[in-house]
Amino acid sequence: MAITPVLEEQIEVPMDIRCLDDFRRWAVSDAFPERGRIDYIAGRIDVDMSPEDLHTHGKLKTEFVGVLWQQIKREGLGEIYTDSTRVSCPEADVSAEPDVVFISEASLDSGRVRLVPKASGAADRYVELEGPPDLIVEIVSDSSARKDTERLPVAYYRAGVTEFWLIDARGDELLFHIHRRGPSQYEPVEPDADGYQHSAVLGSRYRLDRSRNAKGRIEFDLQCSRLAPRDEA
């Protein structure tokens, strides 16, 4: 019996997108692709249809979401989102779907960040975050290396994102850097003697370890240590 080929979906960007507002309208429309990551950064549309690496991206993201979600929920710090969560910051001309996003209760209460409702107006249905999150995590993949390490940090800083975490587990050396806002760009937080980095946003310090399980597969362990109030300054 003959096998019928299925052609992969082609991404067609509408020709009438000339600004961030046009892109945002497209992003919440039925015409927007259901797969892939599509970001708008300073007038440029970045389309990434590559699948996530199971271990150096997917498993790693699961570790961060699991550990941070437990802390954020336990301490009532705010909301954490992942996978296709659109964040738009008009002041910085950026609309992206970060790997992990944290919004504090203070940011929501003050209106610094707002939940954008679906066009239907149905209760508790939202499609987008507008405004600078307190924390964004990006995990580097082969297809996104330059965007994650060069273009997005500039855009997130310009938008006012408080902390930017960057992880790269593709090579022999495991890279995990917490960045805080400096006078003109993000600056890396120096690890302490135990290899932990301090997050002022979450009031804790973190260290990322990598090992192999009994079957030889890669495992990640995000260690979290809550700081005493006197150490959070």
- Would you state the pLDDT for residue 10? 57
List pLDDT tens digits, range 53-98: 999 999 999 999 999 999 999 999 999 999 889 999 999 999 999 9
Can you read off the two tokens belonging to residue 57? 């991206």
- Would you state the pLDDT for residue 197? 98
- Would you state the pLDDT for residue 5? 47
Confidence of residue 227 (pLDDT cuts 50, 70, 90): confident
- Would you state the pLDDT for residue 83? 87
Confidence of residue 131 (pLDDT cuts 50, 70, 90): very high
Confidence of residue 8 (pLDDT cuts 50, 70, 90): very low
List pLDDT tens digits, range 154-172: 999 999 999 999 999 999 9
User: Domain ranges in the chain?
Assistant: 51-231
> What is the average pLDDT across 200-208?
97
List pLDDT tens digits, range 88-104: 999 999 999 999 999 99
The listed CATH number (3.40.1390.20, 1.10.3720.10, 3.90.1570.10, 3.40.640.10) that belongs to domain 51-231: 3.90.1570.10
Instruction: Please determine, for residue 233, whether its predicted confidence score (pLDDT) is greater than 90.
Output: no
